[in-house]
Protein backbone atom coordinates (compact mmCIF):
# COMPACT_ATOMS: atom_id res chain seq x y z
CA UNK A 1 0.00 0.00 0.00
CA UNK A 2 1.12 3.54 -0.62
CA UNK A 3 0.39 6.88 0.88
CA UNK A 4 1.11 8.64 -2.32
CA UNK A 5 2.17 5.20 -0.02
CA UNK A 6 3.46 2.83 -1.99
CA UNK A 7 3.06 7.66 -3.98
CA UNK A 8 5.64 8.43 -6.28
CA UNK A 9 8.30 11.03 -5.91
CA UNK A 10 5.99 13.30 -7.82
CA UNK A 11 3.39 12.78 -5.11
CA UNK A 12 5.54 14.82 -2.78
CA UNK A 13 3.88 17.73 -4.51
CA UNK A 14 0.46 18.88 -3.39
CA UNK A 15 -2.46 16.91 -4.80
CA UNK A 16 -5.68 18.74 -5.49
CA UNK A 17 -9.09 17.12 -5.20
CA UNK A 18 -10.90 16.67 -8.48
CA UNK A 19 -14.55 16.38 -7.49
CA UNK A 20 -16.66 17.15 -4.44
CA UNK A 21 -20.36 16.38 -5.08
CA UNK A 22 -21.68 13.30 -3.28
CA UNK A 23 -23.81 10.50 -4.66
CA UNK A 24 -23.85 6.78 -4.00
CA UNK A 25 -21.25 4.71 -2.19
CA UNK A 26 -18.34 2.53 -3.18
CA UNK A 27 -16.69 0.08 -0.81
CA UNK A 28 -18.89 1.34 2.03
CA UNK A 29 -17.88 4.99 1.64
CA UNK A 30 -19.65 7.91 0.01
CA UNK A 31 -18.49 8.39 -3.56
CA UNK A 32 -18.55 11.72 -5.40
CA UNK A 33 -20.60 11.89 -8.59
CA UNK A 34 -18.50 11.27 -11.68
CA UNK A 35 -19.24 11.94 -15.32
CA UNK A 36 -18.48 8.90 -17.50
CA UNK A 37 -18.86 8.80 -21.28
CA UNK A 38 -18.91 5.66 -23.45
CA UNK A 39 -16.24 5.31 -26.11
CA UNK A 40 -15.38 2.52 -28.54
CA UNK A 41 -12.02 0.77 -28.41
CA UNK A 42 -11.36 1.92 -31.97
CA UNK A 43 -11.64 5.53 -30.80
CA UNK A 44 -8.88 5.16 -28.21
CA UNK A 45 -5.59 6.50 -29.63
CA UNK A 46 -2.84 3.91 -29.27
CA UNK A 47 -5.15 1.06 -28.27
CA UNK A 48 -4.37 -1.19 -31.23
CA UNK A 49 -0.60 -0.81 -30.84
CA UNK A 50 -0.35 -1.47 -27.11
CA UNK A 51 1.06 -4.78 -25.82
CA UNK A 52 -2.10 -6.29 -24.40
CA UNK A 53 -0.33 -9.49 -23.35
CA UNK A 54 1.59 -7.48 -20.73
CA UNK A 55 -1.61 -6.00 -19.32
CA UNK A 56 -3.28 -9.41 -19.37
CA UNK A 57 -0.39 -10.95 -17.42
CA UNK A 58 -0.80 -8.25 -14.77
CA UNK A 59 -4.57 -8.77 -14.72
CA UNK A 60 -4.09 -12.50 -14.15
CA UNK A 61 -2.05 -11.65 -11.05
CA UNK A 62 -5.19 -10.03 -9.63
CA UNK A 63 -7.51 -12.95 -10.39
CA UNK A 64 -6.83 -14.99 -7.21
CA UNK A 65 -7.93 -11.94 -5.21
CA UNK A 66 -10.84 -11.01 -7.46
CA UNK A 67 -12.34 -14.49 -7.37
CA UNK A 68 -12.20 -14.83 -3.58
CA UNK A 69 -12.67 -11.32 -2.20
CA UNK A 70 -16.44 -11.08 -2.68
CA UNK A 71 -18.37 -8.44 -4.60
CA UNK A 72 -16.88 -5.05 -5.51
CA UNK A 73 -18.36 -1.79 -6.69
CA UNK A 74 -17.33 0.58 -9.45
CA UNK A 75 -18.56 4.00 -10.57
CA UNK A 76 -19.90 3.93 -14.16
CA UNK A 77 -21.97 6.03 -16.56
CA UNK A 78 -25.09 4.53 -15.00
CA UNK A 79 -24.10 5.29 -11.44
CA UNK A 80 -22.75 2.54 -9.26
CA UNK A 81 -22.30 -1.02 -10.54
CA UNK A 82 -21.77 -4.10 -8.40
CA UNK A 83 -19.31 -6.61 -9.82
CA UNK A 84 -20.05 -9.96 -8.25
CA UNK A 85 -17.46 -12.54 -7.34
CA UNK A 86 -19.04 -14.91 -9.87
CA UNK A 87 -18.67 -12.26 -12.57
CA UNK A 88 -14.97 -11.95 -11.79
CA UNK A 89 -14.69 -15.76 -11.88
CA UNK A 90 -16.20 -15.80 -15.35
CA UNK A 91 -13.88 -13.06 -16.60
CA UNK A 92 -10.80 -14.61 -15.00
CA UNK A 93 -11.71 -17.96 -16.51
CA UNK A 94 -11.63 -16.41 -19.96
CA UNK A 95 -8.34 -14.68 -19.12
CA UNK A 96 -6.74 -17.99 -18.19
CA UNK A 97 -7.74 -19.42 -21.56
CA UNK A 98 -5.57 -16.89 -23.43
CA UNK A 99 -2.16 -18.38 -24.11
CA UNK A 100 1.00 -16.54 -23.14
CA UNK A 101 2.26 -14.39 -26.02
CA UNK A 102 -1.06 -14.40 -27.87
CA UNK A 103 -1.31 -10.67 -28.52
CA UNK A 104 -4.45 -10.92 -30.63
CA UNK A 105 -6.12 -13.12 -28.04
CA UNK A 106 -5.20 -10.75 -25.21
CA UNK A 107 -6.63 -7.75 -27.02
CA UNK A 108 -9.79 -9.70 -27.88
CA UNK A 109 -10.15 -10.67 -24.20
CA UNK A 110 -10.31 -7.06 -23.04
CA UNK A 111 -12.60 -5.98 -25.87
CA UNK A 112 -15.03 -8.84 -25.23
CA UNK A 113 -15.20 -8.64 -21.43
CA UNK A 114 -15.12 -4.90 -20.79
CA UNK A 115 -16.60 -1.67 -22.10
CA UNK A 116 -14.53 1.53 -22.01
CA UNK A 117 -15.77 4.68 -20.26
CA UNK A 118 -13.94 8.01 -20.41
CA UNK A 119 -13.75 9.71 -17.03
CA UNK A 120 -15.11 13.22 -17.41
CA UNK A 121 -12.56 14.84 -15.11
CA UNK A 122 -9.03 16.14 -15.70
CA UNK A 123 -6.47 13.38 -15.40
CA UNK A 124 -3.42 13.60 -13.18
CA UNK A 125 -0.72 10.95 -13.39
CA UNK A 126 2.46 10.49 -11.40
CA UNK A 127 4.84 7.58 -10.99
CA UNK A 128 6.50 5.57 -8.26
CA UNK A 129 9.21 2.95 -8.02
CA UNK A 130 10.84 0.57 -5.56
CA UNK A 131 13.99 2.18 -4.11
CA UNK A 132 17.11 0.21 -3.21
CA UNK A 133 19.37 1.05 -0.27
CA UNK A 134 22.11 -0.45 1.88
CA UNK A 135 21.59 -1.80 5.37
CA UNK A 136 22.38 -4.35 8.02
CA UNK A 137 20.48 -6.59 10.42
CA UNK A 138 22.53 -5.10 13.26
CA UNK A 139 23.24 -1.43 14.08
CA UNK A 140 26.74 -0.06 13.63
CA UNK A 141 28.57 3.22 13.17
CA UNK A 142 27.66 2.98 9.46
CA UNK A 143 24.09 1.73 9.76
CA UNK A 144 22.37 3.88 12.37
CA UNK A 145 18.83 4.48 11.06
CA UNK A 146 16.28 1.91 12.26
CA UNK A 147 13.45 0.58 10.10
CA UNK A 148 10.50 -0.35 12.32
CA UNK A 149 7.89 -3.05 12.02
CA UNK A 150 4.28 -2.40 12.99
CA UNK A 151 4.03 -1.77 16.75
CA UNK A 152 1.63 -4.14 18.56
CA UNK A 153 -0.13 -1.22 20.27
CA UNK A 154 -0.86 0.58 16.99
CA UNK A 155 -4.59 1.20 16.51
CA UNK A 156 -6.56 3.38 14.12
CA UNK A 157 -5.93 6.39 16.36
CA UNK A 158 -3.06 8.88 15.90
CA UNK A 159 0.22 7.38 17.11
CA UNK A 160 3.63 8.96 17.73
CA UNK A 161 4.61 11.58 15.16
CA UNK A 162 7.55 11.16 12.78
CA UNK A 163 9.66 13.47 14.96
CA UNK A 164 8.83 11.52 18.13
CA UNK A 165 9.66 8.19 16.48
CA UNK A 166 12.93 9.49 15.03
CA UNK A 167 13.84 10.88 18.45
CA UNK A 168 13.53 7.44 20.04
CA UNK A 169 9.88 6.86 21.04
CA UNK A 170 10.09 3.22 19.86
CA UNK A 171 13.68 2.55 20.87
CA UNK A 172 14.21 -0.58 22.95
CA UNK A 173 10.89 -2.18 22.02
CA UNK A 174 12.45 -4.75 19.69
CA UNK A 175 10.66 -3.44 16.62
CA UNK A 176 13.69 -2.91 14.42
CA UNK A 177 13.70 -4.98 11.22
CA UNK A 178 16.94 -3.61 9.82
CA UNK A 179 19.24 -0.59 10.13
CA UNK A 180 20.07 1.56 7.11
CA UNK A 181 22.65 4.19 6.35
CA UNK A 182 20.73 7.05 4.84
CA UNK A 183 17.67 8.70 6.49
CA UNK A 184 16.75 10.37 3.20
CA UNK A 185 16.75 6.99 1.43
CA UNK A 186 14.49 5.59 4.17
CA UNK A 187 12.14 8.55 3.77
CA UNK A 188 12.02 7.79 0.06
CA UNK A 189 11.14 4.16 0.80
CA UNK A 190 8.36 5.37 3.08
CA UNK A 191 7.02 7.58 0.32
CA UNK A 192 7.15 4.72 -2.17
CA UNK A 193 5.77 2.20 0.34
CA UNK A 194 8.25 -0.56 -0.39
CA UNK A 195 11.94 -1.02 -0.96
CA UNK A 196 14.83 -3.44 -1.22
CA UNK A 197 17.66 -3.39 1.32
CA UNK A 198 20.98 -4.87 0.21
CA UNK A 199 22.36 -6.33 3.42
CA UNK A 200 25.96 -6.02 4.54
CA UNK A 201 25.69 -9.65 5.65
CA UNK A 202 24.69 -10.64 2.12
CA UNK A 203 21.31 -11.03 0.46
CA UNK A 204 18.39 -8.69 0.01
CA UNK A 205 15.58 -7.85 2.42
CA UNK A 206 12.31 -6.73 0.83
CA UNK A 207 10.30 -4.16 2.77
CA UNK A 208 6.54 -3.96 2.36
CA UNK A 209 4.01 -1.53 3.82
CA UNK A 210 2.57 -2.61 7.17
CA UNK A 211 0.67 0.39 8.45
CA UNK A 212 1.16 4.03 9.34
CA UNK A 213 1.05 6.14 12.48
CA UNK A 214 -2.28 7.62 11.33
CA UNK A 215 -0.86 11.12 11.23
CA UNK A 216 -1.54 13.61 8.39
CA UNK A 217 0.59 13.46 5.27
CA UNK A 218 2.34 16.69 4.31
CA UNK A 219 4.05 17.03 0.94
CA UNK A 220 7.55 18.29 1.68
CA UNK A 221 7.81 19.60 -1.87
CA UNK A 222 5.12 22.08 -0.86
CA UNK A 223 7.05 22.87 2.34
CA UNK A 224 10.16 23.71 0.33
CA UNK A 225 8.16 25.85 -2.10
CA UNK A 226 6.59 27.73 0.83
CA UNK A 227 10.08 28.25 2.26
CA UNK A 228 11.11 29.86 -1.01
CA UNK A 229 14.01 27.48 -1.66
CA UNK A 230 12.53 26.13 -4.90
CA UNK A 231 9.75 26.82 -7.34
CA UNK A 232 6.73 24.56 -7.77
CA UNK A 233 7.70 23.53 -11.31
CA UNK A 234 11.14 22.45 -10.07
CA UNK A 235 9.98 20.53 -7.00
CA UNK A 236 10.56 17.03 -8.39
CA UNK A 237 11.85 14.31 -6.13
CA UNK A 238 15.41 14.37 -7.59
CA UNK A 239 15.60 18.11 -6.85
CA UNK A 240 14.11 17.64 -3.38
CA UNK A 241 16.49 14.80 -2.57
CA UNK A 242 19.46 16.86 -3.71
CA UNK A 243 18.42 19.77 -1.47
CA UNK A 244 17.93 17.44 1.53
CA UNK A 245 21.41 15.98 1.05
CA UNK A 246 23.01 19.43 0.81
CA UNK A 247 21.18 20.66 3.93
CA UNK A 248 21.15 17.63 6.29
CA UNK A 249 20.15 19.42 9.51
CA UNK A 250 17.53 21.66 7.95
CA UNK A 251 16.45 18.74 5.77
CA UNK A 252 15.62 16.60 8.77
CA UNK A 253 13.39 19.36 10.12
CA UNK A 254 11.68 19.62 6.74
CA UNK A 255 11.04 15.87 6.57
CA UNK A 256 9.54 16.01 10.05
CA UNK A 257 6.97 18.49 8.77
CA UNK A 258 5.42 15.36 7.31
CA UNK A 259 4.15 13.72 10.50
CA UNK A 260 3.14 10.49 8.79
CA UNK A 261 5.47 7.58 9.44
CA UNK A 262 5.34 4.19 7.72
CA UNK A 263 5.96 0.80 9.30
CA UNK A 264 7.24 -2.16 7.29
CA UNK A 265 7.38 -5.92 7.22
CA UNK A 266 9.77 -8.31 5.56
CA UNK A 267 7.72 -9.55 2.61
CA UNK A 268 10.18 -12.39 1.96
CA UNK A 269 9.61 -11.93 -1.75
CA UNK A 270 11.65 -10.46 -4.56
CA UNK A 271 8.62 -8.64 -5.95
CA UNK A 272 7.13 -5.29 -4.95
CA UNK A 273 3.64 -5.81 -3.55
CA UNK A 274 0.66 -3.51 -3.99
CA UNK A 275 -2.20 -2.78 -1.63
CA UNK A 276 -4.30 -5.40 -3.43
CA UNK A 277 -1.86 -7.97 -2.10
CA UNK A 278 -0.43 -8.99 -5.46
CA UNK A 279 2.97 -8.54 -7.08
CA UNK A 280 3.26 -5.32 -9.04
CA UNK A 281 4.20 -5.29 -12.72
CA UNK A 282 6.43 -2.50 -13.99
CA UNK A 283 4.49 -0.08 -16.25
CA UNK A 284 1.31 -2.15 -15.96
CA UNK A 285 0.32 -1.73 -12.29
CA UNK A 286 -1.50 1.46 -11.33
CA UNK A 287 -2.30 2.97 -7.94
CA UNK A 288 -5.84 4.38 -7.99
CA UNK A 289 -8.50 5.84 -5.75
CA UNK A 290 -10.52 2.75 -4.81
CA UNK A 291 -13.46 4.95 -3.86
CA UNK A 292 -14.14 5.01 -7.60
CA UNK A 293 -12.19 2.13 -9.12
CA UNK A 294 -11.82 -1.28 -7.42
CA UNK A 295 -8.66 -3.35 -7.53
CA UNK A 296 -8.29 -5.48 -10.62
CA UNK A 297 -9.96 -2.96 -12.92
CA UNK A 298 -8.20 -2.30 -16.24
CA UNK A 299 -7.59 1.43 -16.78
CA UNK A 300 -6.29 3.00 -19.98
CA UNK A 301 -4.19 6.09 -19.35
CA UNK A 302 -3.32 8.71 -21.95
CA UNK A 303 -0.67 11.04 -20.56
CA UNK A 304 2.98 12.14 -20.83
CA UNK A 305 6.13 10.54 -19.39
CA UNK A 306 9.50 12.25 -18.87
CA UNK A 307 12.25 11.43 -21.34
CA UNK A 308 15.21 9.96 -19.46
CA UNK A 309 18.24 12.23 -19.55
CA UNK A 310 16.36 15.17 -21.03
CA UNK A 311 15.07 17.45 -18.30
CA UNK A 312 11.85 19.23 -19.19
CA UNK A 313 11.14 16.89 -22.12
CA UNK A 314 8.16 14.54 -22.20
CA UNK A 315 6.87 11.84 -24.51
CA UNK A 316 3.43 10.37 -25.14
CA UNK A 317 2.56 7.59 -22.70
CA UNK A 318 -0.48 5.47 -23.55
CA UNK A 319 -0.90 2.14 -21.83
CA UNK A 320 -3.45 -0.26 -20.46
CA UNK A 321 -2.86 -0.56 -16.72
CA UNK A 322 -4.37 -2.69 -13.96
CA UNK A 323 -5.52 -1.12 -10.69
CA UNK A 324 -3.46 -2.98 -8.07
CA UNK A 325 -2.40 -0.34 -5.56
CA UNK A 326 -3.66 2.75 -3.76
CA UNK A 327 -2.39 5.59 -1.61
CA UNK A 328 -3.37 8.53 0.56
CA UNK A 329 -2.31 11.05 -2.09
CA UNK A 330 -4.11 9.25 -4.91
CA UNK A 331 -7.50 10.92 -4.86
CA UNK A 332 -10.00 11.34 -7.69
CA UNK A 333 -11.56 9.27 -10.47
CA UNK A 334 -8.90 10.20 -13.03
CA UNK A 335 -5.91 10.07 -10.68
CA UNK A 336 -3.28 7.40 -11.27
CA UNK A 337 0.21 6.54 -10.04
CA UNK A 338 2.24 4.33 -12.39
CA UNK A 339 4.56 1.70 -10.91
CA UNK A 340 7.78 1.90 -12.94
CA UNK A 341 9.83 -0.87 -11.29
CA UNK A 342 13.15 -0.67 -9.43
CA UNK A 343 15.74 0.39 -12.03
CA UNK A 344 17.60 3.75 -12.16
CA UNK A 345 15.49 4.56 -15.21
CA UNK A 346 12.35 3.83 -13.16
CA UNK A 347 13.57 6.18 -10.45
CA UNK A 348 14.02 9.02 -12.95
CA UNK A 349 10.60 8.46 -14.51
CA UNK A 350 8.92 8.32 -11.11
CA UNK A 351 10.76 11.32 -9.72
CA UNK A 352 9.89 13.62 -12.59
CA UNK A 353 6.50 12.45 -13.78
CA UNK A 354 3.57 14.81 -13.23
CA UNK A 355 1.28 14.67 -16.24
CA UNK A 356 -2.25 15.55 -17.24
CA UNK A 357 -4.34 13.60 -19.71
CA UNK A 358 -7.31 11.32 -19.38
CA UNK A 359 -8.29 8.01 -17.87
CA UNK A 360 -10.53 5.45 -19.55
CA UNK A 361 -11.93 2.85 -17.17
CA UNK A 362 -12.74 -0.60 -18.53
CA UNK A 363 -15.92 -1.76 -16.80
CA UNK A 364 -16.86 -5.48 -16.83
CA UNK A 365 -19.79 -6.08 -19.13
CA UNK A 366 -20.69 -9.56 -17.90
CA UNK A 367 -23.47 -10.23 -15.47
Q: What is the pTM of this model?
A: 0.77
Residue 172 parent element (H or E): none
CATH topology of domain 131-219+258-266: Ribosomal Protein L25; Chain P (2.40.240)
The class that CATH gives domain 9-127+276-364 is mainly beta
Please report, to the nearest 10 degrees, the dihedral formed by the alpha carbons of residues 296, 300, 302, 305 taken in order: 40
Contacts of 153 (CB under 8 A, 6+ apart): none
**pLDDT per residue as tens digits for the range 211-235:** 999 999 999 999 999 999 999 888 8
Q: Which pLDDT does position 352 carry in this prediction?
A: 85
pLDDT tier at 367 (50, 70, 90 boundaries)? low
| Per-domain boundaries in the chain | 9-127+276-364, 131-219+258-266
| Interval 256-294: pLDDT, tens | 999 999 999 998 887 888 889 899 999 999 999 999 999
Q: State the Cα–Cα distance between residues 242 and 252, nearest whole angstrom.
A: 13
Could you tell me how far CA 116 lies from the centroid of its own chain?
A: 22
* Structure confidence by residue, pLDDT tens digits, 61-91: 999 999 998 899 998 888 888 999 999 999 9
Name the average pLDDT for the chain.
Answer: 89
Integer CA distances (angstroms), 317 to 30, 45, 203, 300, 358, in order:
32, 11, 35, 10, 11
pLDDT at 32: 58
pLDDT in tens, 33-48: 789 999 999 999 999 9
- Report DSSP state, residue 2: B
Amino acid sequence: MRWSVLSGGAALLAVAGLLSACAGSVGGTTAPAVGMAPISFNEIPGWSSDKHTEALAAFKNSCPKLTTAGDSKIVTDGGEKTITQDEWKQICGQASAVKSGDERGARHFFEENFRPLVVQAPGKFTGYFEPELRGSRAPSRLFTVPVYRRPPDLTDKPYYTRAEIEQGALKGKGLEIVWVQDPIALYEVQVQGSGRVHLAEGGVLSLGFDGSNNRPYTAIGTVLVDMGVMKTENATWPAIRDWLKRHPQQGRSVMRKNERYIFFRDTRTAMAMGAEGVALTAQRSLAVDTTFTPYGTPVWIDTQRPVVGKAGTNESYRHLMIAQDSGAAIKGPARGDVFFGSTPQAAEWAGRMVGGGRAIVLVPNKG
